[in-house]
């Protein structure tokens, strides 16, 4: 923990002693300092700065490359499961891939002669030259690794990378191979402003892409390059090192992507430190001139020694004008130096206090905006149509919450869902925004394609949005119920969410409380949700039955003895409110819960929804 308490520095040398010793020590000390210390520190600092810049650029270049290639792989997989017409539509409606080809390799294939082109998907009416020869040339490696990337540039101004996929199939029969070309011109143009050179290789050292447009015409091999060898020997994902190639020193850095590619960043050592050497030379010349001037103007020494007093006076004037960002360059250990340091410390503390107040005000304002935005993401507290009437209760444990519920209405069907992001606060609130956007996107698709209205489809949409936003760092439990009003059936599925309640109205006017939603994995852990691992539960319902959806915040609420409200308390409240309207059920459950937990702050967000099926 940082100690901000000011401690006045001790006075080791008096002002009188300094005046006596200054002329004797000044010349020898200054020459030594400028000649030795400055040179070493400047060069080392420049090397660290170059390495830091290289690592940053390699990281950003590698991540952007990952995004492009993964997007291309996803598109090619979509093409592989499509017919030629649908594949052409997919390629025509995106700007990432130039074209794609799907090949079939018979199970007994022994060479390129058994590779059959099934179809090509391209933009426009003119077919592209086939890549069958290139596929045949890398077939053994491709089948072993399932995906490869190769440089397919034929024109300097149009760098291209080929993406080759050979996904494994659990079914017997021909093996499918998908190929596409990816234009990398815009990607390379984004690297041109860097003083470094970039090369992207595969795990064997073959060049996939080079920042020099002309070198992309030649299939390079950097397997013996010192920078590539360093990346292979290093156990970490990224690193930097000073190496030598062709008798020239180099500063190199690397970053290994999760697709098996290596981003190499190089810079000539002499070019990078030339400016530093020039600066050192100028500083040395300046120092020698200064020392000569001091030797000739010794009578002015006392005036220079008292300069900190004048600087301190000017600093007080600056602070009086409202500028607290002052620096006094006094390094003396006498009374004047102690006073200067105390003054700088005082000004800095005042400036920090002012900035803290401004920053707190800014954060408070941003939180207010975030709360307003999140409220807009939730449906109205009460929704009603000919198929369903629902009312909701929402209370956040902090300014922003991670709970969310949604409602969609289609002809003959209703979608009701509720979700809970891990934690609470601004980060959790951002994930709820992603979930809301995914539901809105699903609504657009489902309006045109009603066959999409299924719990697993909704969970898949939500998972992709949540994983894309949080990259697996923030997860979300999710329950969705699709109510078919024509067949009077409820189709429900859960992704790690608590079991929900169906309050079924029986023929005799009684009510039976049933649970809905089998356990499943939370959303956002992986990009592609395995829907086969999620069970869809189908139950019948009658008119007048009620759905009660909730998040675990109501279960985790505790009384004064830290005893949780739990499912027992919730089910008891539901039993007491049987036969009541949804508004009364909402009031009775919320009142029972709040009386149980008392005035203590909530540990988690609390959300529940009561819906009546008509």
Give dist(CA 256, CA 35) in Å, integer.
Answer: 41
Please tell me what DSSP assigns to residue 35: I
Q: Which residue has the higher pLDDT, 114 or 487?
A: 487
Q: Which residue has the higher pLDDT, 337 or 121?
A: 121
Residue 6 pLDDT? 44
Residue 169 pLDDT? 78
Render pLDDT for 462-516 as a digit per residue (tens, 0 to 9). Answer: 999 898 888 888 899 999 999 999 999 999 999 999 999 999 998 877 899 999 9
In the chain, % of residues over pLDDT 90: 47
Strands 546-550 and 500-505: antiparallel
287's enclosing H/E stretch is helix 269-296
Distances (CA, A) of 348 to 7, 10, 328, 534, 540: 14, 20, 12, 58, 70
Q: Please, which pLDDT band fits residue 300 given cuts at 50, 70 and 90?
A: low
pLDDT for residue 19 is more than 60:
no
pLDDT for residue 44 is more than 60:
yes
- Residues facing residue 182 across a β-bridge: 97, 161
Q: Please, which pLDDT band fits residue 299 given cuts at 50, 70 and 90?
A: low
Give dist(CA 608, CA 614) in Å, integer.
Answer: 20
Q: What is the mean pLDDT of residues 296-303?
A: 65
Give dist(CA 432, CA 438) in Å, integer.
Answer: 10
Q: What is the mean pLDDT of residues 244-253?
A: 85
> 146: how many CB neighbours lie within 10 A of its CB?
11
Q: For residue 345, give both structure tokens.
A: 């410390």
Give burial (CB, 10 Å; 0-12/13-18/19+) of 248. Answer: exposed
Q: For residue 561, give both structure tokens.
A: 């003895």
pLDDT for residue 190 is more than 70:
yes
Give dist(CA 315, CA 320) in Å, integer.
Answer: 9
Least reliable range by pLDDT among 95-104, 178-187, 399-408: 399-408
Give burial (CB, 10 Å; 0-12/13-18/19+) of 453. Answer: buried
Q: What is the mean pLDDT of residues 135-145?
A: 90
Residue 1 pLDDT? 46
Q: Please, which pLDDT band fits residue 349 given cuts at 50, 70 and 90?
A: confident
pLDDT for residue 352 is more than 90:
no
Render pLDDT for 269-285 as a digit per residue (tens, 0 to 9). Answer: 887 777 666 777 777 77
Render pLDDT for 90-100 as a digit per residue (tens, 0 to 9). Answer: 999 998 999 99
pLDDT for residue 380 is more than 80:
no
Render pLDDT for 254-269 as a digit per residue (tens, 0 to 9). Answer: 999 999 999 999 988 8
How does the average pLDDT of the chain come out, rounded?
Answer: 84
pLDDT for residue 443 is more than 90:
yes
pLDDT for residue 586 is more than 60:
yes
Q: Please, which pLDDT band fits residue 109 given cuts at 50, 70 and 90?
A: very low
In the chain, % of residues over pLDDT 70: 84
Q: For residue 331, give both structure tokens.
A: 């390094």
Residue 30 pLDDT? 67
Give Cβ neighbours of residue 8 (< 8 Å, ≥ 6 apart).
338, 342
pLDDT for residue 339 is more than 60:
yes
Under 8 Å between Cβ of 483 and 411: no
Q: Please, which pLDDT band fits residue 373 given cuts at 50, 70 and 90?
A: low
Residue 8 pLDDT? 45
Q: What is the mean pLDDT of residues 58-83?
A: 93
Side by side, which strands form the sheet with 489-495? 403-410, 413-421, 476-484, 489-495, 537-540
pTM value surpassing 0.75? no
- Residues facing residue 414 across a β-bridge: 409, 483
Render pLDDT for 542-582 as a digit per residue (tens, 0 to 9). Answer: 999 999 999 999 999 999 899 999 999 999 999 999 989 99
389's enclosing H/E stretch is strand 388-395
Residue 424 pLDDT? 66
pLDDT for residue 41 is more than 50:
yes
- Sign of the Cα torsion 130, 131, 136, 139 reads negative
Buried b (16+ CB within 10 A) or exposed e, 57-75: bbbebbeebeebbeebbeb
Long-range contacts of 181-185 (CB under 8 A, 24+ apart): 181/97, 181/98, 181/99, 181/128, 181/131, 181/152, 182/68, 182/69, 182/72, 182/96, 182/97, 182/98, 183/98, 183/158, 183/159, 184/68, 184/159, 184/160, 184/209, 185/157, 185/158, 185/159
Render pLDDT for 192-241 as a digit per residue (tens, 0 to 9). Answer: 888 899 999 999 999 999 999 988 888 889 999 998 999 999 999 999 98
């Amino acid at each position: 923990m940082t100690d901000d308490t000011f401690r006045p520095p001790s006075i080791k040398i008096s002002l009188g002693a300094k005046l006596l010793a200054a002329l004797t020590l000044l010349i020898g000390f200054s020459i030594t300092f400028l000649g030795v210390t400055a040179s070493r520190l400047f060069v080392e600092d420049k090397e660290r700065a170059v390495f830091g810049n290289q690592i940053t650029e390699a990281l950003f270049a590698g991540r952007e490359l990952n995004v492009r290639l993964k997007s291309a792989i996803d598109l090619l997989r979509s093409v592989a499961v499509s017919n030629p017409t649908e594949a052409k539509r997919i390629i025509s409606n995106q700007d990432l891939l130039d074209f794609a080809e799907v090949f079939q390799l018979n199970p007994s294939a022994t060479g390129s002669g058994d590779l059959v082109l099934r179809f090509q998907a391209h933009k426009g009416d003119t077919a592209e030259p086939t890549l069958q020869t290139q596929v045949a040339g890398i077939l053994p490696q491709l089948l072993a690794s399932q995906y490869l990337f190769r440089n397919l540039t034929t024109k300097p101004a149009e760098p291209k990378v080929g993406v080759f996929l050979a996904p494994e199939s659990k079914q017997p029969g021909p093996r499918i191979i998908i190929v596409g070309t990816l234009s990398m011109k815009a990607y390379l143009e984004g690297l041109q402003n860097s003083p470094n050179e970039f090369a992207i290789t595969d795990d064997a050292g073959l060049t996939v892409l080079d920042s020099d447009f002309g070198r992309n015409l030649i299939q390079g091999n950097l397997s013996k390059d010192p920078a590539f060898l360093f990346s292979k020997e290093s156990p970490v994902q990224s690193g930097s090192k000073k190496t030598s190639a062709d008798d020239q020193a180099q500063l190199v850095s690397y970053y290994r992507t999760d697709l098996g590619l290596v981003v190499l960043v190089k810079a000539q050592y002499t070019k990078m430190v030339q400016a530093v050497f020039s600066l050192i030379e100028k500083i040395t010349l300046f120092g020698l001139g200064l020392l000569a001037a001091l030797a000739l103007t010794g009578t002015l020494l006392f005036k220079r020694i008292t300069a900190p007093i004048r600087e301190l006076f000017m600093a007080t004037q600056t602070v009086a004008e409202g500028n607290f960002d002052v620096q006094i360059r006094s390094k003396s250990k006498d009374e004047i130096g102690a006073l200067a340091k105390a003054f700088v410390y005082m000004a800095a503390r005042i400036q920090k206090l002012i900035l803290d107040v401004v920053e707190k005000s800014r954060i408070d304002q941003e939180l207010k905006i975030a709360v307003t935005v999140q409220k807009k993401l939730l449906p109205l507290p009460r929704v009603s149509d000919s198929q369903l009437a629902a009312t909701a209760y929402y209370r956040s444990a902090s300014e922003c919450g991670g709970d969310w519920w949604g409602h969609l209405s289609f002809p003959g069907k209703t979608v009701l869902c509720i979700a809970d992001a891990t934690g609470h606060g601004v980060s959790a609130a951002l994930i709820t925004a992603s979930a809301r956007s995914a539901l809105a996107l699903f609504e657009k698709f489902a309006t045109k394609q009603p066959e999409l209205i299924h719990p697993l489809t909704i969970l898949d949409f939500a998972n992709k949005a949540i994983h894309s936003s949080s990259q697996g760092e923030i997860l979300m439990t999710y329950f969705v119920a699709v109510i078919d009003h024509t067949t009077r059936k409820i189709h429900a599925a859960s992704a790690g969410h608590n079991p929900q309640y169906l309050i079924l109205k029986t023929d005799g006017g009684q009510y039976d409380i049933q649970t809905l939603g089998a356990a499943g994995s939370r959303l956002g852990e992986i990009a592609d949700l395995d829907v086969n691992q999620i069970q869809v539960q189908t139950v019948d319902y009658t008119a007048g039955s009620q759905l009660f959806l909730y998040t675990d915040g109501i279960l985790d609420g505790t009384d004064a003895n830290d005893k949780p409200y739990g499912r027992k308390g919730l089910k008891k409240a539901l039993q007491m409110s049987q036969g009541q309207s949804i508004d009364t059920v909402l009031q009775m459950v919320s009142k029972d819960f709040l009386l149980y937990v008392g005035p203590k702050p909530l540990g988690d967000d609390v959300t529940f929804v009561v819906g009546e099926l008509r």
